[in-house]
Structure 1
Amino acid sequence: MGSLSKVGRKQGALSFISYGLVVMAVTHVLTHVFGGIHTAIFSLLREEFSLSLKQLGIIAAIPPLCQAIFTIPAGLLSDRLGSKRMLLASFAVAVAGALLASVAGSPLVFILAISMVYINSTIYHPASYSYTANAFTDKERPKAMGLHGAGGTLGHATGPLAVSVLIGVLAFGWRQVYLILTVPMLLGVVMVLRLKDEPSGIAEVSDEPGDEGGGGITKLLTTNMMVFLLFRSLSSMGMSMISSFFVLYLMDVRGLTLALATLIFSSRMLLGLVAAPVGGFMASRFGEKRWLIYTSAIGYACFALSLFTDNLALFIALFMLYGFFNTVNMASRTSILARLIPKRSRGLGYSLFFLPTSLIGAVAPAIAGLIAELYGFEVVFYISIAAYVLAWVIMKFMVKVD
C-alpha cells in the first residue's frame, strides 16, 4: 500500500507534463543548437580570416543587434498570429542561416548567416514562452518553465559539444558542423505541425495582472517591470561578456585544446538538463524571487572564486557550479515575468524580457573584445562580476513579486 502511494505521488508530481510542453522543450533544444557554435570556433575563425580579438568581438556583437531590431515585432506578431505559425517561421530562418554558414567564404557572409540564426531565436522565444506561460497556473508554471528551460540549456550545450566531437575528434570542418546540425530541425517541424494552435482550458488565477483590452508596450512598462528589465540587462551583460570569450580564455590563458575547452564550456550547459527542471520544482515550492536571490548569489560567488585558483580541476569545478546555479533559477526568471504581464500580451512581454539580452549582446562582446585586447581576459570577467552583483542588488531590493 505504501509503495502504491509513492507511485501516486510521483505521477502527481509529473501530471503537469503535456504534449504541448514536450514540444516546447524539444523545439527549445533545436532553436539553440546553432547559437553557440560561432564563439566556440573563434580560434578557427581568427586563424582562417586573420581576425583580431576586437574583430571577433564585433562578429559576436552584430547578431544580437539584429535580434534587438526584430524582438518587438516578433512579440507583437506572436500575440497576433499565434505560437504555432511563429515556431515554424523560426525554424525556416534557422535552417536558412545554418545552410548559409555552411558555405560562408568571408567574414561578412558568416556574420549574415549567424545573424539569421540569432533572429530564429528572436522569433521563437516570445511564441514558445507565452505558450507555456498561458498553459499553466501560477503554481504549476515554474515547474513547466523548468522543463522548457532544460531544452534550451541542452540546445546551448549541443553547439559547442558538436564542435568538440565533430571538429576535435572526427576532424570535420566548422562549415560541416552547421550543415550536419540542420538535419534534426525536421523533427521540430513535424512536432509543431501536430501542435494545437494555442493552449486551452487553463484558468487564470485571481492575482493575474489586469487583462483589459490587451495592451501595448506602454501598458506593460510599469515601474516594477522596468526595474525587472534593468535586472535582466545587467545579468545579461555579465553572462554575455563571460560566454563570448570563455573558450578563447581557456585556450590562450589556461592552455587547453579546442576540443577540451569546448567540452568544458558545453558541459556547463549540459548541467542544465538537471538544474532547470529541479529549479522549477524548487521555485514552485519556495517562491520564484526567493529561489532566484539565493541561487544567483551562490553562482556568482563560484565564478568569482574560480578566477583566483591556478588548480585546473578546482577551476573547472567552480565554473560548473556557476553554470549549475545560473541555470537552476532560469524558471524563476521566466515565471516572474509571467506574473508581471497580462495573459493576452505575453508574446510582447516575453519579447521585452529577451530584448535586454539582445541589446547587451550587441554591445558587450565588442567592448569585451577591446578590453581583452588591451588588459586581458581577467579584467573582462571582473567587470562581468560587478554587473552580476549590481543585478542581484536590484532584484533583491527593488523588484516586487506578489
Structure 2
Amino acid sequence: MTTLNPASNPWHDDATVIGLVGIAHASSHFSQLLLPLMFPVFISTFGLSYSELGFLMTVFFAVSGIGQAAAGFVVDRLGARPVLFVSLLVMAAGCMAVSVANSYAGLMLGAALLGLGNCALHPVDFTILNQKVSAPRLGYAFSAHGLTGNLGWALAPVFMVGLSAAFDWRMAYVGAALLFVGIFALLFWQREHLHAEVLLHKQTVSEGSTLDFLRIPVVWWCFSFFLLSTMTLSVVQSFSVSILQAMHQVTFEAATLTLTAYMLCAAAGMFLGGFVAARWPSHSDKVVATCMATGALFMALCGSGLLGGNLTMVILAATGLAIGVGGPSRDMMIRKATPKGATGRVYGIVYSGLDTGSAISPLIFGMLMDHGWYGATLLGAAFVLLLSVLLALGVGRRIVHA
C-alpha cells in the first residue's frame, strides 16, 4: 500500500518543491502557537482562567480536526494547490479577527478561523510531496517537512513577543496576518511547482470505494498514535511557560526561550531523523517507538520536580530532539499504510488525530493547571506519550500483515 511518485527527478526540481511545501508547513505550525503565546496577556486583558484558555485551543483544534478529515476528500477531488491558497487567506483572516477582539467570543471566532485555515495543510503537503518528489528522496522530503514545521513553531515566540514588545499584542496579530498574505503571494508566484494531479478519477483505491479505506484497521491505529503523541506536544505548547514559572520561578523570557529551544531541538531532530528514515525505512515503527519512549522518559524527569530550573529547561528542550528524530520515520510509517489514490483522504483522517489530541489535551491538562498540579501535568503528558509507543509498534505489525 503506497502512493505514486516519480522514480527520478533533477535535484533542483525536488528541492524547489520541498522548499515551497516546507514554507506552507511552517505557516501551519506558526498558526498553532499564535494563541498560546498570548495566554498571559489574555489573562490580564480578559480575566480568563487556564480552562477557558485551554478551550480556545480546543476550538482551534476541533475545527482543524473536523476540517482536516473533510479536507482530505476535497484535496483528492479538487487538487492540493487551490486548497492551499484558500487556507493561507483564512489564517490571515483569523489573525485579524483576534487583533480586533474585545471579548472571549471574539477570541473564539479568531481561534475557529485559524483552525479552519490550518485544517488542510497536512493533506495538501503530503499529496504534493508524494506526487512530485522522487521516491529515493522522500525520506529527506519528510525530514525537511517536519523540520520546517518546527521552525514555524520556533519563529512564533520570537515574532509575536517581539512585535508585542515593540507595539502591542493586537499589532502582533496584524503582523501575523500580513505574514500569511506574504506567504500566499510567494506560493502563488511559484504555483507551477505546486501543481498536483487529481488522482481520484484516474485510478481506483485498491481496497474498493471512496470510503472503504476507513475499514482498514491500520488507518485507525495511525489515527490513535497521532492523537496520543500530540497530546504531549500540546502540553508543551500551551502550558510549559506557565509550568516553568510556577515550579522553578524562572522569568517569562527564560521560559519562552525554553519553548523556542524545544522547537529548535525538534527541528534539529527532524533533520537527523531524515537520515535515519532513509537508512532504515523498513524499521520506521521501531524508530518511532524508541524516540517516543526516550521523550517520555525526559518529560517524566521534568515533571518529577527533582531537577532544578536550569536542568529542567535543558531536559525539556532535549525532549524535542528525541521526538523530532522520530518525525520522518513516522511519516514513512503512515505512507506505507496509505492505499493508492487515497493520499489526501488517509492523511486527512490520520492527521486529524493530531488535531483531536490537541483539542482534548488543553481541556484535561488545563484542569490540572487550574488546581496547581504543575508536575502532574508533565507526568501525565509523559504517560500519554508512552502509550503512543505501543500504538507505533502496533502499526508496524499491521503494515507487515496487510
In the superposition, the TM-score normalised over structure 2's length comes to: 0.87
Whole-angstrom distance in 1 between the partners of 2:287 and 2:10: 19
Residue 290 of structure 2 is matched in structure 1 by: 294
Whole-angstrom distance in 2 between the partners of 1:385 and 1:395: 16
2:226 equivalent to 1:232: yes
For structure 1, list consecutive stretches of 5 or more residues without a partner in the other structure: 1-11, 201-208
> Does the C-alpha gap of structure 1 residues 265 and 81 become closer, same or farther in structure 2, counting only changes over 3 Å?
same
Could you tell which deviates more after superposition, 17-26 or 178-187?
A: 178-187
Match of 2:116 among 91, 101, 119: 119
- How many Å apart are 1:237 and its aligned residue? 2.2
2:359 equivalent to 1:385: no
Instruction: Tell me if structure 1 keeps the 8 A contact 2:221–2:394.
Output: no
Whole-angstrom distance in 2 between the partners of 1:210 and 1:227: 23
Instruction: Tell me if structure 2 keeps the 8 A contact 1:101–1:113.
Output: yes
Instruction: Tell me if structure 2 keeps the 8 A contact 1:149–1:330.
Output: yes
2:364 equivalent to 1:367: yes
Root-mean-square deviation over aligned CA pairs: 2.4
2:262 equivalent to 1:268: yes
Match of 1:30 among 8, 27, 33: 27
Partner SS for 1:244: helix
Instruction: Tell me if structure 1 keeps the 8 A contact 2:92–2:181.
Output: no
Whole-angstrom distance in 2 between the partners of 1:164 and 1:262: 9
Could you tell which deviates more after superposition, 92-101 or 188-197?
A: 188-197
Match of 2:275 among 267, 276, 281: 281
Instruction: Tell me if structure 2 keeps the 8 A contact 1:303–1:319.
Output: yes
Matched AA of 1:142: G
Instruction: Tell me if structure 1 keeps the 8 A contact 2:227–2:354.
Output: yes
For structure 2, list consecutive stretches of 5 or more residues without a partner in the other structure: 1-8, 198-202
Whole-angstrom distance in 1 between the partners of 2:102 and 2:249: 29
> Does the C-alpha gap of structure 1 residues 164 and 253 become closer, same or farther in structure 2, counting only changes over 3 Å?
farther
**Offset from partner CA, 1:22-42 (integer Å, 9 cap, x none):** 110112122332320211221
- How many Å apart are 1:16 and its aligned residue? 7.7
Whole-angstrom distance in 1 between the partners of 2:163 and 2:99: 14
Residue 188 of structure 1 is matched in structure 2 by: 183
Matched AA of 1:249: I
The sequence identity of aligned pairs, in percent, is 21
Matched AA of 2:270: A
> Does the C-alpha gap of structure 1 residues 199 and 280 become closer, same or farther in structure 2, counting only changes over 3 Å?
farther
> Does the C-alpha gap of structure 1 residues 391 and 322 become closer, same or farther in structure 2, counting only changes over 3 Å?
same
Whole-angstrom distance in 2 between the partners of 1:278 and 1:14: 20
Instruction: Tell me if structure 2 keeps the 8 A contact 1:302–1:322.
Output: yes
Residue 323 of structure 2 is matched in structure 1 by: 326
2:162 equivalent to 1:165: yes
Residue 304 of structure 1 is matched in structure 2 by: 300
Instruction: Tell me if structure 2 keeps the 8 A contact 1:68–1:355.
Output: yes
Question: How many corresponding residue pairs?
Answer: 381
Partner SS for 2:389: helix
Match of 2:211 among 217, 220, 230: 217
Whole-angstrom distance in 2 between the partners of 1:258 and 1:216: 50
Instruction: Tell me if structure 2 keeps the 8 A contact 1:98–1:179.
Output: yes
Q: 1 or 2, which has the higher helix percentage?
A: 2
> Does the C-alpha gap of structure 1 residues 268 and 241 become closer, same or farther in structure 2, counting only changes over 3 Å?
closer
Whole-angstrom distance in 2 between the partners of 1:242 and 1:263: 13
- How many Å apart are 1:199 and its aligned residue? 4.6
- How many Å apart are 1:324 and its aligned residue? 1.0
Instruction: Tell me if structure 1 keeps the 8 A contact 2:236–2:259.
Output: no
Residue 173 of structure 2 is matched in structure 1 by: 178
Instruction: Tell me if structure 2 keeps the 8 A contact 1:292–1:329.
Output: yes
Whole-angstrom distance in 2 between the partners of 1:49 and 1:268: 29
> Does the C-alpha gap of structure 1 residues 157 and 254 become closer, same or farther in structure 2, counting only changes over 3 Å?
same
- How many Å apart are 1:375 and its aligned residue? 5.2
Partner SS for 1:140: helix
Instruction: Tell me if structure 1 keeps the 8 A contact 2:302–2:312.
Output: yes
Instruction: Tell me if structure 2 keeps the 8 A contact 1:39–1:247.
Output: no
2:126 equivalent to 1:132: no
Instruction: Tell me if structure 2 keeps the 8 A contact 1:227–1:398.
Output: yes
**Offset from partner CA, 1:331-358 (integer Å, 9 cap, x none):** 1112211111124111111111221122
Residue 66 of structure 1 is matched in structure 2 by: 63
Residue 239 of structure 2 is matched in structure 1 by: 245
**Offset from partner CA, 1:266-296 (integer Å, 9 cap, x none):** 2211223322122112111023223212222
Whole-angstrom distance in 2 between the partners of 1:311 and 1:139: 45
> Does the C-alpha gap of structure 1 residues 146 and 221 become closer, same or farther in structure 2, counting only changes over 3 Å?
farther
Residue 3 of structure 2 is matched in structure 1 by: none
2:351 equivalent to 1:354: yes
Instruction: Tell me if structure 2 keeps the 8 A contact 1:21–1:132.
Output: yes
Matched AA of 1:297: A
Instruction: Tell me if structure 1 keeps the 8 A contact 2:289–2:390.
Output: no
- How many Å apart are 1:93 and its aligned residue? 0.3
Residue 95 of structure 2 is matched in structure 1 by: 98
Residue 83 of structure 2 is matched in structure 1 by: 86
Partner SS for 1:182: helix
- How many Å apart are 1:396 and its aligned residue? 2.2
2:336 equivalent to 1:339: yes
In the superposition, the TM-score normalised over structure 1's length comes to: 0.87
Instruction: Tell me if structure 2 keeps the 8 A contact 1:165–1:259.
Output: no
Matched AA of 1:296: M
Matched AA of 1:150: L
